[in-house]
Structure 1
Amino acid sequence: MKYKLLLVICLVSAFAKAQDYFFSKYAPFDQEIPTPEAFLGYPIGEQHTRHDLIVAYLEKLAQVSPRATIASYGKTHENRKLVMLTISTEGNLSNLPSIKKQHLAFVDTAEKETNYDEVPIFIQLGYNVHGNEPSSSEAALLTAYTLVASQHPEIKKYRENSIIFLDPTINPDGRDRHTQWANSFKGSPLVSDNIDAEHTEMWPRGRTNHYWFDLNRDWLLAINPESRGKLDWYHEWYPNVVTDFHEMGTNSTHFFEPMLPIGSENPIMPKENYEDLNNLFAPYFSSALDEIGSFYFTKEAFDGTYPGYGSSYPDLQGALALLFEQASSRGHLQDTDYGTISFPFTIRNQYTSGMATVKASVENKGALRKYQQDFFNSAVGSAERSRSAKAKFDQATAYEFGDPKDKNRTKAFIDKLLKHRIKSYKKGDGRYVVPVLQPQKRMVQSFFETYKKYRDSVYYDASAWSVSNFYNMKHKALSATSSLGQEVLSTDDIATVTPVSKTNYAYLVDYNDYNAPALLHHLQSNGIKVATAFKPFTAKTTAGNIDFNYGTLMIPVSRQDENSQEVFDILREAQEKFQVPVYATNTGFSLKGVDLGSRNLQAIETPKPLMIIGDGTSSYEAGEVWHLLDTRVGMPLTKVLMSNFNRVALGDYNTLIMVSGNYSSLSKGDKERLRNWLEEGNTLITIANATSWAVNAEIVKEKLIKKEKDSTELKSREPYVDAGPNRGKQRVGGAIFEVDLDLTHPLGFGYTTDKLPVYKNNNVWLQPSNNEYNTVAQYTENPHIDGFISDENLNDYMKKSASLVVSRVGRGRVILFADNPNFRGSWYGTNKLFLNAIFFGSLID
């Protein structure tokens, strides 16, 4: 208790000295430049600073000092500015275009520059990618002030020898969500009790962005505007060092790299990065933290296996990316096992590590520049594979890909290649080629190679990320390439379609296209009646004889409430917006297969979806559904808190979506209402753990595969220290598997091949249905495509289970996804399974 009291007294005493607590060692300061405290009206750490005030302060620095400039690189979903403050000497900033040119010469594999020590080093300090890890953005204000205003010889040296790019808040939407919460519940005096509301945010919390995406997983996938803007900035500047500041559990200390060893057996990241450079920088961090008496640890946690973190993506761009994790006060003052931890204390550790990063970068700029040059030269100078998983990839010089039957999905995939500056070339007939030997070779490997061998079995995040599988983008490795053809520089003309001509009879929409569900929604929201084909056919159209697949959409002109011209105008508007192939026909008589008046063309009911959110549910999965329907389909989605579910008039909706979560708070009456609603003919869609809930709650009569317990079986004795890793390897943290899909089922409409990659990050093992027609997707005999899975999970569970099952409840049905078809907004390959569940669920007999 004495220790606790002493610690509080010391913290209060330090806080009373205002900002001297942070940066007195860098005095004197330019008196013409306002401190953060003078500008904000309160000392840093006294409360959480809103993003608009953070931006305003940085704009003030750029206004009053010739040593700083500021620019915006984008906006968030909620229209908050994303900004970058550039700091150096006045001379360097006025000469920045020339310095930039010299810097990029080390990235250009055609150049052979060797003046490594003569060009200022490029440092990018990035803060607050997780909105409720707020200490780093406060540290960003202190760092910006120090680097701009300090007249200390050491800081002058930093400005002279570096260009520092400071991004104060990577996730402004999430930060402001948390800032509002923490400031609203702040007590006076401060309340350190862990259970106080200040320290326990409500769902969905501030970690994520507007659509509840974790932006620290989005560097590779580039779904959100925050990441897309940052990537455009990144590939313009190619910094040498990049920081990634985070917070972790309150009872921890402070972490800096080295991390855990990379889990891949043969990482694509150069060994010089994760061993030599990290070990070069670590003494700077330990020395700086020792000086202020802070405790820390290294090597025991986190890993850089997944290339989509802020602390790993730059490593694949010739930079040194550095992760920092600070124990969080989760508010302004909170109890820990070692006394209380204050917000100013957490800020000081982040500030100290950031300044140590600048020091280490400047003092090792020659080594960093040469490393970046060698990194890119090695990408184009050798055909050796550093991370090959399959023999067929060992000698690959290029990858050929493309789906001529789905140009919008192909377009989306190429957009992702371009976002990462991966060069691709148009081959013709809807096919494209990506050569391996190019400056972005490591990104080519990340997109196309799969991996099954690991030196570890427990991962901080996903162990599979082959982006081509995310997009169900079939591809083949080429051992040799002739002329590459024309380089793809834009996606503008990849999915353009011929405008449909007018007819008074019927229109046919190619449902193979990724954007077809969005076009369907556009038509339905404008009152157009649409049918879908349960059997294929060949029709005579105004564009010639065309083969149409399962799921083809048919718009019968004479059956509409609108006249033929109004129908045509609505359809043309939809086609222009979504660029989906649409054909006009003047006859219902098919050349082959069913005619347009057949009972095998059934009218599609307009979906009215509802999704349960709130405490107990996965905000990630809920956000993925919301994002998909909002941004790609344009479909309104009603989101209801679980605590309000008993107030919902279920009869107003025909589709209910349940993502992973704990639904134990739903009462017996809630379950009964749900069953009654289903029996009336409606559709419930469950994802991953919600599927387990539906089975265990006996909403459906399906079963889960569970291991038989043998009470007589004695387990062998194991060391206590191995308990975590041994149990952790039984968790499916994120890997890719192959399923066999029933293309004739409404949920399979629009797919053209029956083998489909799916993403699994759970241990939901769904038994195939007893009804022989209701197992829509089942794992294949050898399902493992990419990522880690234990032999037990693979052989005893996965190979015996189903990925997608439909279960009848009265006149309704439950569509059970064992996997997540919308993972991180990037699974273009399985999005249509989920959208088919929404649009065609009512048609499943």
Structure 2
Amino acid sequence: MKKSLLFVFAFLVSISLVFSQEEYYFPGETFKNNVPSPSDFLGYEIGEWHTRYDLIVKYFEKLDELSPMAELIVIGQSHELRPKVILTISNESNMNSLEEIRLKQVQLADPRAEMPDISEMPSIIHLGYGVHGNEPSSAEAAMLTAYWLLASESDLAKNLLDNAVVHIDPTLNPDGRDRHSLWANSNKGFPPVADPADREHNEAWPRGRTNHYWFDLNRDWLPLAHPETQSKVEWYHEWYPNVTTDFHEMGTNSTYFFEPTKPYGSENPVVPRKNYDDINVRFAKYFEKYMNEIKSLYWTKEVFDNSYPGYGSTYPDIQGGLGLVFETASSRGHVQESQRGEITFAFTIRNHVVNSLATMEAALDNREYMNEYLREFFDTALSEARSSSVKNYLFGDQYDPNRNVLFVKFLMDHQIEVYENTADKTVGGVEYKAGQSWIVPTEQPQYRMVRTMFEYVGEFADSVFYDASAWTMAAAYGMPFAENGGGSRGELVESIDFESHAFPEGDAYAYLIDWSDYYAPKFLYHAQKEGIHVEQVNRPFTSETHEGPVDFPAGTLMIPMGFQQKSNEEVLASLEKVARETHQKVYATNTGLNLKGIDLGSNLVGALEMPKVLMPVGNGVSSYDAGAIWYLTDNQLGMPITKVDTDALGRINLFDYNTVILPAGNYSGLSDRFVEHFKDWVSRGGTVISIGSASLWLQREGITKEKPVEIEDLPDDPKELPFADRRNFEGAKAVGGSIYMAELDLTHPIAYGYQRNTLPVYRNTSIFIQPSQNKYLTPVRYADEPYLGGYISDTNLERLKESSSIIISPSGGGRVIHFFDNPVFRGTWFGTNKLLFNAIFFGNQMD
């Protein structure tokens, strides 16, 4: 009896909470009683807890089950196998004609197709939430918005169901969201603690912002490094939404931001002015109205970036839609003190709910206008292409077939048309071979994305950047390319895959693998893992192989069959398997006497040690850099590395490892005892790979003794400026992300596998170190005129010209390999990844 009374009491409390919640989020609204609210389903008010991602999905599944106006689909999954879902909502008639509506929208986005009748076409609205896992209010708003659409009795809801198709993505980053939700819920007090110093408001490293590999998915719409964004962009191109939202959180002491963003300085150079000058202004009036109604403070135009194409609010702008970024003050937990009083989780959610509704109303009112703009966007893309002096791009790397495949696939994922090149062509001293190079015509609907991939941006309306100021993806892939390269255009590439190679038959003296291919390092690791003894030939040579004479560069792998611990049959079976899995061509030779160059038994040929890598992570370490390194070793090498929290390093015996990677960060908190152990390990032969600012710690500890570039600020740096100018002036001194041409010493092991002595590199640090005093140990330095694209001040460019990209610093019997440019930026700098791989596999040869 007592249990029954308690149950009834809890039920009545639940009803009252639901009522008060609906009044808070949707004052004055009435709702159908056949659709459960989120609080009905979850058993608590929205804002009372951080809802786990699986419960969000289950709520959407319930809406799909109960309403013929809702359909939930799974478009992919996260690294941790959480489903990526889209909930589509419209009236029954539209839902029954969903594929027809989708095909018409795709037709509208194709300027070469017949123009459909837009008068009856619905508005396609994509409400995207939760790309940053520890900005959790938007995913809660997603549930409330879905509920409102299906249950509200309002005229606006009915009109939206009749005249729009609304796609709701509750969380682009499920893994990060659950990491943060667990933290916030586990550390919640009863009552909740508003003190900003409380543990609830201060997540442990790496925090929930990023995905499984600590990657910021709001930068991944362009590089497409991760499955969450890969599936999202694939879905996006199936629909070409008219409007796409991107909801975020910012500092607790802020208010609310909606677009327009900062005029000119934060706008993308390929997006038509109409997007910024007209459409953004139209929509902003709706956000203003809705925020005024709830009397919530807001601001516009000051900061936030729409220039980098990889944002969820910028990519749609380059696809004929409108991308919109929103930022609310964050409670970073359930309630937190701010300069305006306590900010509650519910308050942050409500801000995003009202702007979700405002976005839908604006899209509905501008339905035909936005559909006309979608066609106009792609029409003008073709006309701009016709008037451009650049008619095509020719690209391809004859030495690295698998990197070619990766880049062609990447372009096709962005719906860029790629054609085969059927004739040999030499442009700018670079050979583009038929069958190993491709042509991208500029006159195609995705002309603006073609520019994004191949153009270097060098003119800027501002000198302070929220993020990267350069994003030329052909440079990121290290891909040789030429404007107007000509060539003979063949067939449109419909699909492309990695080449399969027949394994040589019969017995052999040795097997040879050219290190030039991107996946050669993966082959090496897995061959070693299989117990195969592998050596490296450190000079170029020509060998008589089963396919006749073949020229091999320095760095070529050699498997001598006379020095294997396994039987010939076991070695051959393993070799064939690993070669097939890593898409490598294996050459057989029956002699160690080469036709040219050194022989296979030369003293310049040596055994390769299998890497055993440790990487510190945790407080002080850049989670972005550490995550990118982890992602690459996992996904491109299939090689595990040991990640050790900085607080636990004192318990580690470094002599169990031969390589330590130090991501950018501040290591000053390491104990004196560990530092002494580290110095001893390095001096006894250890290899340290240092990224960016980690080198400064090595300098302070006396492990390395390199010298900074000393160039004073140029005369245009005034002695006095107004206080209000400080942010812009000092911010302009940062190197936030730009691209430079480096020159490689192709004889050095760091450059093994590269066939050209120039390579675009990416820099996002203002650390400038002079070349090594040892003339042999600066294997990567900058060209005389290194600038390719992105913002850099005149003073910093002069410093850069006097500095080095990579230095090797001997330290006792060991060495430090300094990377002052970022070889792993956002996981897709395939052109420079291999520099890091070379450091991992050949580090002990580099000094």
Q: TM-score, normalised by structure 2?
A: 0.95
In structure 2, C-alpha distance between the alignment counterparts of 1:55 and 1:144, rounded to whole Å: 12
Shift of 1:15: 9.6
Q: Please identify, of 695-704 and 741-750, the stretch whose mean Cα deviation from structure 2 is larger.
A: 695-704
Match for 1:422 among 410, 416, 432?
416
Structure 2 counterpart of 1:317, which letter? Q
In structure 2, C-alpha distance between the alignment counterparts of 1:751 and 1:335, rounded to whole Å: 55
Q: Which residue of 1 aligns with 2:7?
A: none
In structure 1, C-alpha distance between the alignment counterparts of 2:19 and 2:168, rounded to whole Å: 28
Q: Is 1:516 aligned to residue 510 of structure 2?
A: no
In structure 1, C-alpha distance between the alignment counterparts of 2:713 and 2:437, rounded to whole Å: 52
Preserved contact between residue 691 and residue 816 of structure 1 (Cα < 8 Å)? yes
Q: Which residue of 2 aligns with 1:618?
A: 622
Match for 2:483 among 471, 477, 481?
477
Structure 1 counterpart of 2:493, which letter? V
Match for 2:444 among 413, 438, 443?
438
Shift of 1:105: 2.2
Preserved contact between residue 262 and residue 303 of structure 1 (Cα < 8 Å)? no
- CA pair 525-262 structure 1, distance change in 2 beyond 3 A: farther
Q: Is 1:396 aligned to residue 396 of structure 2?
A: no
Preserved contact between residue 116 and residue 366 of structure 1 (Cα < 8 Å)? yes
Structure 2 counterpart of 1:574, which letter? V
Q: Which residue of 2 aligns with 1:487?
A: 492
In structure 1, C-alpha distance between the alignment counterparts of 2:757 and 2:200, rounded to whole Å: 51
Name segments (4+ residues, structure 1) moved above 6 Å: 13-16
Q: Report 1:635-784 matches (<5 A).
A: 635-707=639-711, 715-784=718-787
Structure 1 counterpart of 2:676, which letter? E
Match for 1:450 among 436, 452, 456?
456
Q: Is 1:51 aligned to residue 53 of structure 2?
A: yes
In structure 1, C-alpha distance between the alignment counterparts of 2:19 and 2:384, rounded to whole Å: 59
Q: Which residue of 2 aligns with 1:249?
A: 251
- CA pair 483-751 structure 1, distance change in 2 beyond 3 A: closer
Shift of 1:667: 2.5
Any idea what SS the aligned residue of 2:807 has? strand
Shift of 1:450: 0.6
Q: Please identify, of 91-100 and 180-189, the stretch whose mean Cα deviation from structure 2 is larger.
A: 91-100
Q: Which residue of 1 aligns with 2:331?
A: 329
Any idea what SS the aligned residue of 1:521 has? helix
Q: Is 1:547 aligned to residue 551 of structure 2?
A: yes
In structure 1, C-alpha distance between the alignment counterparts of 2:132 and 2:710, rounded to whole Å: 36
Shift of 1:267: 1.5
- CA pair 836-409 structure 1, distance change in 2 beyond 3 A: same
Q: Which residue of 2 aligns with 1:459?
A: 465
Q: Which runs of 5+ in 2 are unaligned?
A: 1-15, 422-433
- CA pair 530-114 structure 1, distance change in 2 beyond 3 A: closer
Q: How many residues matched? A: 820
Match for 1:406 among 390, 400, 412?
400
Any idea what SS the aligned residue of 1:382 has? helix
Preserved contact between residue 463 and residue 731 of structure 2 (Cα < 8 Å)? yes
Shift of 1:32: 1.2
Q: Is 1:633 aligned to residue 637 of structure 2?
A: yes
Any idea what SS the aligned residue of 2:371 has? helix
Shift of 1:708: 5.6
In structure 2, C-alpha distance between the alignment counterparts of 1:351 and 1:117, rounded to whole Å: 29
Could you give the per-residue CA deviations for residues 546-596 of structure 1, whole angstroms, max 9, x where no partner exists? 000010000001100011111111111111001112100000010000000
Q: Please identify, of 470-479 and 667-676, the stretch whose mean Cα deviation from structure 2 is larger.
A: 667-676
Preserved contact between residue 85 and residue 167 of structure 1 (Cα < 8 Å)? yes
Q: Which residue of 2 aligns with 1:388?
A: none
In structure 2, C-alpha distance between the alignment counterparts of 1:223 and 1:560, rounded to whole Å: 38
Could you give the per-residue CA deviations for residues 111-132 of structure 1, whole angstroms, max 9, x where no partner exists? 3426333111100000000000
- CA pair 353-714 structure 1, distance change in 2 beyond 3 A: closer
Any idea what SS the aligned residue of 2:759 has? strand
Structure 2 counterpart of 1:156, which letter? K
Q: TM-score, normalised by structure 1?
A: 0.95
Any idea what SS the aligned residue of 1:267 has? coil
Preserved contact between residue 733 and residue 792 of structure 2 (Cα < 8 Å)? yes
Preserved contact between residue 26 and residue 155 of structure 1 (Cα < 8 Å)? no
Q: Which residue of 1 aligns with 2:612?
A: 608
In structure 2, C-alpha distance between the alignment counterparts of 1:822 and 1:103, rounded to whole Å: 37
Q: CA RMSD in A?
A: 1.7
Q: Which residue of 2 aligns with 1:19?
A: 22
Any idea what SS the aligned residue of 1:25 has? coil
In structure 1, C-alpha distance between the alignment counterparts of 2:280 and 2:324, rounded to whole Å: 8
Shift of 1:707: 4.5
Structure 2 counterpart of 1:207, which letter? R
Q: Which residue of 2 aligns with 1:104?
A: 106
In structure 2, C-alpha distance between the alignment counterparts of 1:677 and 1:190, rounded to whole Å: 47
Structure 1 counterpart of 2:691, which letter? I
In structure 2, C-alpha distance between the alignment counterparts of 1:175 and 1:512, rounded to whole Å: 40
Q: Which residue of 2 aligns with 1:820?
A: 822
Could you give the per-residue CA deviations for residues 707-742 of structure 1, whole angstroms, max 9, x where no partner exists? 4699x9995321111100000010000000111111
Match for 1:575 among 573, 579, 592?
579
Could you give the per-residue CA deviations for residues 455-503 of structure 1, whole angstroms, max 9, x where no partner exists? 1101110000000000110101117x575211112122x5333433343
Q: Which residue of 1 aligns with 2:159?
A: 157
Shift of 1:452: 1.1
Q: Which residue of 2 aligns with 1:560?
A: 564
In structure 2, C-alpha distance between the alignment counterparts of 1:829 and 1:80, rounded to whole Å: 31
Q: Which residue of 2 aligns with 1:289?
A: 291
Q: Which residue of 2 aligns with 1:842?
A: 844
In structure 2, C-alpha distance between the alignment counterparts of 1:429 and 1:113, rounded to whole Å: 37
Any idea what SS the aligned residue of 1:19 has? helix
Structure 2 counterpart of 1:253, which letter? T
In structure 2, C-alpha distance between the alignment counterparts of 1:111 and 1:668, rounded to whole Å: 69
Could you give the per-residue CA deviations for residues 3-61 of structure 1, whole angstroms, max 9, x where no partner exists? xxxxxxxxxx999822321023331x221111100100001000100000000000100
In structure 2, C-alpha distance between the alignment counterparts of 1:370 and 1:434, rounded to whole Å: 27
Match for 1:189 among 179, 188, 191?
191
Could you give the per-residue CA deviations for residues 652-671 of structure 1, whole angstroms, max 9, x where no partner exists? 00100101111111123222
Could you give the per-residue CA deviations for residues 242-278 of structure 1, whole angstroms, max 9, x where no partner exists? 0000000110000000001243898110101112100
In structure 1, C-alpha distance between the alignment counterparts of 2:460 and 2:837, rounded to whole Å: 35
- CA pair 384-295 structure 1, distance change in 2 beyond 3 A: farther
- CA pair 183-603 structure 1, distance change in 2 beyond 3 A: same
In structure 2, C-alpha distance between the alignment counterparts of 1:734 and 1:84, rounded to whole Å: 33
Identity of counterpart residues, as a percentage?
A: 48
In structure 2, C-alpha distance between the alignment counterparts of 1:686 and 1:168, rounded to whole Å: 38
Structure 1 counterpart of 2:489, which letter? L
In structure 2, C-alpha distance between the alignment counterparts of 1:501 and 1:274, rounded to whole Å: 63
Could you give the per-residue CA deviations for residues 200-222 of structure 1, whole angstroms, max 9, x where no partner exists? 00000000000000000000000
- CA pair 34-517 structure 1, distance change in 2 beyond 3 A: same
Structure 1 counterpart of 2:742, which letter? V
Q: Please identify, of 606-615 and 376-385, the stretch whose mean Cα deviation from structure 2 is larger.
A: 376-385
Shift of 1:706: 3.9
Preserved contact between residue 206 and residue 618 of structure 2 (Cα < 8 Å)? yes
